[in-house]
Structure 1
């Protein structure tokens, strides 16, 4: 049901992202990496910078939490969704200030077509880490799935403003351009 999805509060949050700072616990290294990622001619490949950002997001000072995240990521990657869910539920309840725990749980909910749950977790991710281009992209994917093309376009443009190297999103935006929609 499209009408029951809590799109509006998350969409407003996404539109405000450029004006928000990350939560105080975010590693300072991320600021430099995002600055480097935004450059057209960075010193290293964009994929390497993205990988570093994802690695920092997935890391945690609590070794057991980090191992649990690793197990959840592995379960997601292998399609063992029933294994991933309790791990991610545990992480968000034990570490509610860990943006990536919320993001991975949002990803799981998206895969399971639980879009309202995914949107709630995306919102929590973005409250903590407004530069989370993955969460913004996930919101755009949910909008696409439900036919909210304007919101999807806006989300993908904002994700690209954070990480201009997301070529898949550029292709989706090209397909969503009004003149291309008329052709379908």
Structure 2
């Protein structure tokens, strides 16, 4: 009897978790569909903000959302090592939450640990290929590493599903850097 009760509870939790994740995914898909079609920057910025709010909220665990907010505050105040510990903890708890990887990638970027940041960005993009924030961060790292063509490719990937993305404005500047480098 206890085993059956345990099985039913485990099944219910699994269904709830899957349902919450698919609900969040459906909302994101809808927002990205709108983002691809929007033709004014004000609407695009509003859609972007909605997408960020979903990414920053764990689909099933409010404690992880609170930890992410705490780690983000630490990062904003310059306490990178403590923020890194917080994000490490979140990733151990849920390695499939793209935003935890993205925040840790940001901390690594701020610490000038570009290889670690790029590794985490790869994890983000494996989980959420449309993560324009991660793609923009990836482009910024490639610029710092003077890998300009890769930077342009990262931005172009983001522009496929976010055509009015502000980071697109970086492409002419990067192309200028490429021309200057070849002189």
Give unpaired runs (5+ residues) of structure 2: 1-20
Give the C-alpha shift of residue 165 in structure 1: 2.4
**Are the structure 2 counterparts of residues 180 and 82 from structure 1 closer, same or farther at C-alpha, using a change threshold of 3 Å?**
closer
Q: Secondary structure at the match of 1:45?
A: helix
Determine if the alignment matches structure 1 residue 101 to structure 2 residue 104.
no
Q: Structure 1: any 5+ residue segments left out of the alignment?
A: 1-23
Counterpart in the other structure of 1:34? 32
Q: Alpha carbons of 1:67 and 1:179: their partners in 2 closer, same or farther (altered >3 Å)?
A: closer
1:36-67 CA-to-partner distances (Å, cap 9, x unmatched) read 1111337x711111111011111012111110
Q: In the alignment, what sits opposite 2:69?
A: 70
Asked if 1 retains the 8 angstrom alpha-carbon contact of 2:28 and 2:51, the reply is yes
1:87 maps to 2:86 = yes
Q: Report whether the alignment pairs 1:59 with 2:57.
A: yes
1:3 aligned residue: none
Instruction: Compare relative contact order (CA 8 Å, sep 6+) and give the higher one, 1 or 2.
Output: 1
How many residues align structurally? 160
Distance 1:92 1:180, change over 3 A: closer
Per-residue displacement from partner, 1:85-129 (whole Å, max 9, x unpaired)? 111000111110100000110111011011111111111111110
C-alpha distance in 1, partners of 2:31/2:113?
A: 32
Q: Which has more radius of gyration?
A: 2
Give the alignment's TM-score, normalised by structure 1.
0.79
Aligned to 2:11: none
> Which contiguous aligned blocks of 4+ residues in structure 1 show a shift greater than 6 angstroms?
none
Query: Structure 2 CA distance, aligned partners of 1:40 and 1:54?
Result: 17
Query: 2: CA distance between counterparts of 1:177 and 1:99?
Result: 30
- TM-score w.r.t. length of structure 2: 0.79
Which moved further from structure 2: 135-144 or 156-165?
Answer: 156-165
Q: CA RMSD in A?
A: 2.2
Aligned counterparts, 1:120-135, within 5 A: 120-135=119-134
